[in-house]
Copies of this chain bind each other. A is one copy, B any other.
Amino acid sequence: MTRSDRERDPDRSRAAILDAAEQLFAEHGYALTSLAEVGLRAGVSRGTPGYFFGSKADLYQAVLERSFDEVRTAVRSGRERALTGDHTAEEILAGAVSDYFDFLSARPNFVRLIEREALGGPARLGREDAPPLSAGEEALAAIAAELGLDPAPSGEAAQLLLSIVSLCWFPVVHADTVARAVGVDLSTPEAHAARKQHVVALVTGGLRALSSIRSDHLLQDASA
């Protein structure tokens, strides 16, 4: 072993505290997580989280920022990967939806943190949501360009993107509540895959429907 666990190592401690805090904030929420618990899980003492991060609120902020950074870089690399090779627009959409579904499923901590934030976190986040917001804008521009949809805010592309996010997001949070209540099992990998397949089918089908609706409108406009 390169270093004993007993040695002093601030980087290691910071990372361990961030990991512990992310897990506990995601699991129990801000109010129900004590700094003592964070220290315990991180293998440091009661006071160390406060020592490194100043206050509980600052620690929470640091957790959020680290999550956002991870997500942003992941979204970037995923997008690059999606555009390699030549595929039809529908294939690209299907692949992106599938990837995003897996992406969120693999990051329940992130999803839960944002969820709690949406419900009104510690203090209402009035600050700029720059990191995730920019990721959203990137995704919006990409989907609009790729599918030939209106890229305006609240336009077709934004609506479709929000639908995709809704469909991929919801099962992560509600596997044991709503999904169970409406009779969808999500506990096994197979069930998970089946859900993903349904979502992809719904979105690609919906894209066709949007196109045809737009065609209808064009026809109506032409005939008027």
Residue among A165, A203, A213 with max Cβ neighbours from chain B (10 Å): A165
Q: Could you say which of A7-15, A81-89, A130-138 contacts chain B?
A: A130-138
The reply to whether B165 and A178 contact each other, CB–CB distance below 8 Å, is yes
If over half of A's interface residues share one DSSP class (helix, strand or loop), that class is named, otherwise mixed; here it is helix
A174 interface residue per 8 A CB criterion: yes
Closest B residue to A141 using CB positions: B183
- Tell me whether B209 and A205 are in contact (CB under 8 A): yes
Give the chain B neighbours of A74 by CB distance below 8 A: none
Residues of chain B within 8 A (CB-CB) of A181 are 129, 132-133, 135-137
Q: Given contacts A28-B120, A154-B184, A182-B136, is CB(A167)–CB(B167) below 8 Å?
A: yes
Q: Mark A144-180, 1 if CB is under 8 A from B, else 0.
A: 0000000001111011111101110111011011111
Say whether B208 contacts A209, CB under 8 Å.
yes
Known: A28-B120, A29-B119, A116-B119. A140 touches B205 (CB 8 A): no
Tell which of B118, B161, B182, B201 touches A162, judged by Cβ atoms closer than 8 Å.
Answer: B182
Which range holds the interface residue count of chain A? Answer: 35 or more
Q: Do A205 and B195 form a contact, CB below 8 Å, given A173-B115, A184-B154?
A: no
Contacts A/B (CB < 8 Å), 20 sampled: A27-B120, A31-B31, A114-B177, A115-B115, A135-B181, A136-B183, A137-B182, A140-B183, A153-B183, A154-B194, A158-B182, A160-B198, A161-B183, A162-B178, A165-B178, A165-B182, A166-B167, A166-B170, A201-B209, A202-B206
Given contacts A31-B32, A165-B182, 19 further A-B contacts (CB under 8 A): A28-B120, A29-B120, A112-B119, A116-B119, A118-B176, A119-B119, A139-B182, A140-B183, A153-B184, A154-B183, A155-B183, A162-B179, A165-B170, A166-B170, A167-B167, A169-B170, A205-B205, A205-B210, A208-B209
The 8 lowest CB-CB distance pairs between A and B, nearest first, are: A205-B209, A136-B181, A166-B170, A31-B31, A202-B206, A153-B183, A159-B198, A158-B183
